[in-house]
Amino acid sequence: MNLTLRQRINHRIKLFTISFIRRYRNNPASRWTIFIIDLFTLIAAFAITDLFRLRMASFIDWPSLLIKLFAFSILATFFYLVIGTYRSIIRHSGMYDIYKVLISNLLATVVLIAFNLVNNNHPIVANRFTPAYSEILMTFALQIVFMISVRLLLQNIYNEYFRSHRPSVNIAIYGAGSAGTIAYNALTQDPNHNYRIIAYIDDAKQKKDAALNGIHIMQRKDVLNPDFIKKNEITTLIIAIPSIKIAYKQEITNQALDLGLKVKAVPHISKWINDSFSLNEIQDIKIEDLLERESIKLDNANIVRQVYDKVVMVTGAAGSIGSEICRQLTQYNPAKIIMVDQAESPMYDLQFELRNTAPYNKAIDSMVFVIANVKDKPRMEQVFQQYQPQVIYHAAAYKHVPFMEENPYEAILVNVFGSKNIADLAMKYHAEKFVMISTDKAVNPTNVMGATKRMAEIYIQSRQSTETHFVTTRFGNVLGSNGSVIPLFKKQLAAGGPLTVTHRDIVRYFMTIPEACNLVLEAGAMGGGGDIFVFDMGAPVKIYDLASKMIQLSGRKNIEIKEVGLRPGEKLYEELLATKENTLPTYHPKILRAQVRKYASTDIDTLYEQLRQIMPTFDDMQLVAKMKEIVPEFVSQNSVFAKLDKPENK
């Protein structure tokens, strides 16, 4: 096929352009190239200035002009080299680069003006070779404009022709402040994606109808509505208010998710890597962010009095709650932290973390890691005898409802008699405080696990000791704990679904692990003996809605939510207080003191001894029947043990 001369030329130009783009797409221009361009712009600025000044002159003194140009060039070269205006990568130029342009030219201006002042008394130098003040100011003003313009022009050329062309991502930024500007710069300078900022959102009335980076600042209602989102094809909302209140952030996120947007956020500056911000710091909103609450204010002095320079023991130390208690204890300078757990691998992980991670490793000399099981009383006595703990946080327990429903013997052995072992040893070795971690499933229990925790509460509360004060803390589910619903949903999402819920209407209370452990330490410090403290868990969360939000946050459209039916012993609603219990306030607004039924220690001892005698039979029905005798409000649901309940209790 014969090509015309014009077609051949166009083809060669196209090939050259493609080759040029491929070669320089990822290779920044040489810094010396930029330096030379800056000098050429200075010559242009000087020429324009003198052309304007001398347009009416009949004679041009070329030697004088060349000497002046030489002076301008020498000074500019010196300050450009010192300040480093040429060192930046032009495609990523920002405010700091503009600042360097301004400073270097300002310094050159000041030096030339000073030179003028010094040479004013020398008639030949002043008249022929010293630039006029207007000449100095006009030249460097033009040079600033030229240098900034060149950088913006090259940046736009790169963005338009050199960046790989990928589908645009239309974004709205919530927050027209400094963080919003930082997010804008990070997005627009990303070499791998074409981010288009459609609008800033800010609720401040004084910013209404203003602009930032040439982009309109709008009110929330004008942007976060179906019409605007659809018209502008916005797919992502970035919350750029690092210090935003949690409740406000959750409100914005929920509104955006309902509009089908993907939501990201700029984290607090304390979480930036090396105190600098990059695109990688803009994080996806996680489900934990939607369940989080404002941080708790603790009376640290109260906790310090409880544990400072004392030997503290934590059972179940490698678990979700126990490990966080250990982390938090390190900041209160106990003499020793005796960490006890029977799980070898999680204990190794905890040991490695605490010994190698700041700030925990500051307390490395106080850490003792013990592999032991709370149901092994001789071994636990040996640990008590060796370390003489003064404060005990008892977090060791079996907690999974379906497993314990199938294994009542093991649930009783660990949760009831394991707790009894630690409580008895605490009294025998004169510990000052014993704090037990309980659960909302102990209230009106419908399963074996909840009933065993209630039995442990009863035993702990019945102990009377002038030396050892017994305290129980009771709260609901914690976010991210081992085996909880959120990690399960994450695994199911990673596998492509479906997400499984046991019932569409099932609800649970949630609290973050650090928040729960904060309250455990605070409640333990305030308890005077025989107390059961319940925590303000906030509003209950519908698990089906939780699954829906996680699917929305993942950005995946076709993930199914499947109902699989209530598991044995599971109930729809958890409670924090039994129906006959009341609460009294404490000095901490999130901690309430429960007024519960009292048990005589002699009666409890008799019942627990009877239970112990049944244990060797391994007869689940006999064991659970005795449990129902000890805890009359224990009424099984969806379980083989429901046949043991009295008709009036069903």
Between CA 324 and CA 214 the distance in angstroms is 47
Find out whether 323 and 541 touch, Cβ atoms under 8 Å. no
> Strands 477-479, 367-371: parallel, antiparallel or unpaired by DSSP?
unpaired
Reduced 3-state DSSP string for 392-415: EEECCCCCCHHHHHHCHHHHHHHH
How many residues are given for the chain? 650
Q: H or E element: which one contains 290? A: helix 287-291
Which of these, 86, 49, 84, lies nearest to 69 by C-alpha position?
Answer: 49
CA dist list (Å): 312 to 153, 433, 511, 528: 65, 10, 25, 18
SS3 assignment, position 376: coil
256 class by beta-carbon count within 10 Å (0-12 exposed, 13-18 middle, 19+ buried)? buried
Between CA 173 and CA 181 the distance in angstroms is 9
What Rg do the C-alpha atoms of the chain give, in angstroms? 36
Neighbours of 355 (CB within 10 A): 13
Catalytic positions, written as ranges: 441
Give the HSE-up count for residue 78: Cα atoms under 13 Å, Cβ half-sphere. Answer: 12
- Could you give the dihedral angle defined by the CA atoms of residues 649, 607, 414 and 399, in that order, rounded to the nearest 10 degrees? 20
State the alpha helices, DSSP H only, in 56-132. 62-83, 95-118, 123-124
Find out whether 184 and 201 touch, Cβ atoms under 8 Å. no
Neighbouring residues of 144: CB distance < 8 A, sequence distance ≥ 6: 101, 102, 105
Find out whether 144 and 103 touch, Cβ atoms under 8 Å. no
Find out whether 72 and 18 touch, Cβ atoms under 8 Å. no
- Provide the token pair at 239: 């919350």
